[in-house]
């Protein structure tokens, strides 16, 4: 069976359609949305998916991500962090400013971005991801800032180079003006997703769900010549 879906043009419409089609979280678990600030990346994700949310900064301790022991009524009790809650509840973990990966959290992030995801807590408890778990990382620079193991783990990359529908609504009649200044004083986004092992893994997951090669191209973010190259290479 081949799924034929009309391809929405803007990044936010695409993201919404992937969620509605059950592609994310479902066949695919890891999305990276990068692009200009104030385009509505984090807000859209949070409102659409009711996510567990964390904002990275370079000095962030691991406890902020997975949780830690807390003193409750004179006893030390383990308190789950957002990542563990997302794993246990099968919800989406939203990581804002994902480019600022704290050194302490880097390897734990590998585990969260694995498929299937799972981590072992300092208590010795092993937490495996429940169905519905996913990770959405949002950030401003392009994905080349990531170390390769993280860079190659995302299934979907979306380039936020336009205002999301929600942001446009918030801007009202000034949306057109805001759209014109969206990239002011910000580095141009020229990155194109390269061929990678994970891209083909993601492609295979989508293929197993009956998506056409053309649709797979669109989800992987390959357009024009990259799309025809993909179609040729996989033929």
Q: Coil, strand or helix: which one is 137?
A: strand
d(CA 44, CA 64): 23
Cα separation, 178 vs 123, in Å, equals 49
- Report the C-alpha gap between 178 and 38 in whole angstroms: 10
Count other C-beta atoms under 10 Å from residue 16's C-beta.
Answer: 16
Interface with other proteins, residue 231, by CB under 8 A: yes
Among 111, 200, 201, 207, binds other proteins (CB under 8 A): 200
Q: Judged by CB under 8 A, which of 123, 195, 204, 210 binds other proteins? A: 195
Burial of 145 (0-12, 13-18, 19+ CB in 10 A): middle
Min. distance of Cβ 177 from other proteins in angstroms? Answer: 35
Q: Using CB under 8 A, which of the segments 17-25, 56-64, 103-111, 218-226 binds other proteins? A: 218-226
Taking CB under 8 A as the rule, does residue 234 contact other proteins? yes
The reply on whether position 21 binds other proteins by CB under 8 A is no
The CA angle 146-99-123, to the nearest 5 degrees, is 90
State the nearest-atom distance from the C-beta of 110 to other proteins, in Å. Answer: 22
State the minimum distance, in angstroms, from the CB of residue 183 to other proteins: 24
Q: Give contact residues for other proteins (rule: CB under 8 A).
A: 192, 194-195, 200, 213-214, 222, 225-235
């Amino acid at each position: 069976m081949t799924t034929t879906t009309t391809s929405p043009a803007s990044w936010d419409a695409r993201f919404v359609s992937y969620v509605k089609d059950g592609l994310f979280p479902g066949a695919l678990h890891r999305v990276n949305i990068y692009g200009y600030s104030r385009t509505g990346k984090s807000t859209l994700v949070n409102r659409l998916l009711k996510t567990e949310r964390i904002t990275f900064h370079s000095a962030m301790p691991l406890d902020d991500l997975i949780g830690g022991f807390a003193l409750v009524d004179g006893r030390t009790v383990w308190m789950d962090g957002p990542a563990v809650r997302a794993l246990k509840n099968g919800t989406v973990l939203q990581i804002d400013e994902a480019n600022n990966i704290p050194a302490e959290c880097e390897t734990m992030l590998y585990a969260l971005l694995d498929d299937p995801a799972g981590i072992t807590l300092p208590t010795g408890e092993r937490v495996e991801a429940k169905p519905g778990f996913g990770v959405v990382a949002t950030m401003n620079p392009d994905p080349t800032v990531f170390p390769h193991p993280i860079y190659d783990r995302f299934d979907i990359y979306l380039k936020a180079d336009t205002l999301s529908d929600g942001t446009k609504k918030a801007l009202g009649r000034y949306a057109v003006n805001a759209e014109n200044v969206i990239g002011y004083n910000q580095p141009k986004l020229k990155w194109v997703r390269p061929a990678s092992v994970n891209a083909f893994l993601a492609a295979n997951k989508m293929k197993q769900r009956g998506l056409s090669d053309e649709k797979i191209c669109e989800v992987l973010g390959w357009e024009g010549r990259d799309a025809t190259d993909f179609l040729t290479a996989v033929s």
